[in-house]
Homo-oligomer: A and B are copies of this chain.
Amino acid sequence: MSRQDQKQKKVTLLDVAKHADVSRATASLVVRKSPLVGAETRQRVEAAMRELGYVYNMGAARLRAERSHTIGVVVPNLTNPFFAELLSGMEASVDAAGLVMIIANTGDGPPRQAIVLQRLREHGVDGIILCPAAGTTDEIASQIEGWKLPLVQVLRHVTDELDYAGADYVAGMEEAVEYLVSLGHRAISFAAHGPVHSAYQERVQGFLGAMKRFGLRPEPVIRFPDRVDQIAQEADALFVKDRAPTAVICFNDLVAHGLAAGFYDRGLKIGRDISLIGFDDVADAEAMRPRLTSVSTAPNEIGQKAAALLLDRIAQPALPPRRWINPTRLHIRDSCRPLSSS
């Protein structure tokens, strides 16, 4: 019988057991690396597995053991570099734990999200990491509770009853305002975009709170389009009516990037004519010229931590809900200048 033939009919654990002259139960113990099996026996079984080209059938194991070694990750989109960083961090933690990630995209819409969550349940994931789509209500908490499915919220939260891993957006924005004020700026605008959710609100709240604390007039939040080229085109929106900001804090680096381009197009020099602060501190911040000062939220770390929270929750479903809030850090580069020198 050639190797080829052996591959034809799937080789099962029973085949391995026979080949190694042990019982099926013993072979099963070897696969699962149980210490109950003696070294000599273990080696014989492992040799048999290699010789027969055995592939462990996780699907069969899961049916019996009620554990799939699979987790679901649901995010509002895949293309944002911020989410890419987040996924990368998760992948590292999840992989290290011997699990595998099924990823799904909601397009930031609750109806899609409902479908996607259902599909993940059908696939028998051991747990889910969810960045809730904008518009998700806290009713989801009781739903999840009914499902008995371990779930952690990431980046955004809609309920206190479930675990959450995110960053301290409020403090991050406060730090940005403080820094600009220390440079002498008083007319500071906030440039935002995208759907409204907890992370959005916390950023706005941090900005407005800090402005008020310094006795500065809180400018209305200025909304920009989603795409970076459109943001550039509409940069003028910052200067309409009686507004004349000397500094702008952005919702994220993407907005900052768009505005930087818009300023360039208008002959405004960042630093000299206007100061600019981004948020998230993704890779581009370092590549922009002048380099972008940005509030770092460390998405990779958040991803790792979200995975860790989920693994804990899977191991101990009764744990009280936990939240892990990553401190932010203002990464000062070259996009802000003291007001006096401008």
A79–B70 touching, CB < 8 Å:
no
A183 to chain B, nearest CB (A): 23
The reply on A134 being an interface residue by CB < 8 A is: no
Measuring CB to CB, which residues of chain A are less than 8 angstroms from any residue of chain B? 3-4, 7, 53, 55-60, 62-63, 68-70, 77-81, 83-85, 87-88, 91-92, 95, 100-105, 118-124, 146-148, 227-229, 232, 257-258, 260-261, 264-265, 283-284, 286-289
Cα A4 to Cα B145 in complex, Å, equals: 10
Cα A14 to Cα B326 in complex, Å, equals: 47
Contact of A105 among B88, B123, B146 (CB under 8 A): B88
List the number of copies, as a whole number.
2
Listed from nearest, the 10 A-B pairs whose CB atoms lie closest are A78-B88, A264-B289, A228-B287, A84-B84, A56-B122, A229-B286, A59-B124, A58-B122, A59-B62, A58-B123
| A147 contacts across to B, CB distance below 8 A | 7
Cα A78 to Cα B83 in complex, Å, equals: 10
A124–B58 touching, CB < 8 Å:
yes
A76 to chain B, nearest CB (A): 12
Question: Given that A287-B228, A288-B261 are contacting pairs, would A103 and B119 also be in contact in the complex, using a CB cutoff of 8 Å?
Answer: no
| A232 contacts across to B, CB distance below 8 A | 287
A228 to chain B, nearest CB (A): 4
Which of A7, A58, A78, A260 is most buried by chain B, counting CB atoms within 10 A of its CB? Answer: A78
A88–B95 touching, CB < 8 Å:
no
Given A91-B105, A100-B104, A257-B287, 9 other A-B contacts at CB below 8 A?
A: A3-B146, A4-B146, A70-B102, A78-B91, A79-B84, A84-B84, A88-B105, A102-B102, A261-B288
| A79 contacts across to B, CB distance below 8 A | 81, 84-85, 88, 283
A37 to chain B, nearest CB (A): 20
Cα A58 to Cα B260 in complex, Å, equals: 49
B88–A77 touching, CB < 8 Å:
yes
Please, which residue of chain B has its CB at the minimum distance from the CB of A118?
B55
A124–B70 touching, CB < 8 Å:
no
Cα A85 to Cα B260 in complex, Å, equals: 24
A123–B70 touching, CB < 8 Å:
yes
Cα A288 to Cα B262 in complex, Å, equals: 10
Question: Given that A258-B287, A287-B257 are contacting pairs, would A124 and B81 also be in contact in the complex, using a CB cutoff of 8 Å?
Answer: no
A63–B59 touching, CB < 8 Å:
yes
Contact of A84 among B81, B119, B288 (CB under 8 A): B81
